[in-house]
Amino acid sequence: MSLNKTLDRLFDEIRREAKRNPAFADRLDAVLRAHASRREVDEAAVAEVEARAPEPAPPPSKPSSKPKPAPAPPAKVAAPAINPVGILQKGGEDALEEALISQNRDALLALVEEHNLDPSGEAERLDREALQAHVVAQAKKRVERDKKLFDY
């Protein structure tokens, strides 16, 4: 995964937590106080952040007799090793359809995310067949765009 995608996901999580947790949002605003903010933050929160220096990581604790099971994060499906644009250019639409037919909906969503094939944000709502058609349509658009860009 690219650094940009990783940072996008990190900041998306920070935004979601700030919406859910007002105390976190206040601390975040206090940290970013030097920048213009639309929120009013209590001065106590600002003083708390300014007074707090980065803390060293706590030493690992001894395992207890009953370790608490950590909630398992939802398993993400890895994007298949398919380059839709490359397959379309080399083998045509039929070859791309053939490559996509064996993929389930989650794999197609991962492929869409990996290759940035969802500029309108509609892929999440599509069923498997519509998602496959979406991948083919977006690959065709990319091929046409590339022809225009690199036609000297």
Q: Reduced to 3 DSSP states, what percent helix, strand and coil does the chain have, rounded to the nearest 5?
A: 60, 0, 40
Q: How many domains does the chain have?
A: 2
- Residue 57 forms part of a structural domain: no
For residue range 112-138, list pLDDT tens digits in order: 888 888 888 888 888 999 999 999 999
For residue range 3-43, list pLDDT tens digits in order: 888 888 898 998 888 889 888 888 888 777 756 556 677 77
Whether residues 45 and 89 share a domain: the answer is: no
- Residue 78 forms part of a structural domain: no
Q: Between 78 and 84, where is the model more confident?
A: 84
Per-residue b or e along 66-80, where b marks 16 or more CB atoms closer than 10 Å to that residue's CB: eeeeeeeeeeeeebb
Provide the pLDDT for residue 145. 86
**What is the pTM assigned to this prediction?**
0.49
Give the structural domain span for 43: 3-51
- Residue 47 forms part of a structural domain: yes
Q: Between 98 and 35, where is the model more confident?
A: 98
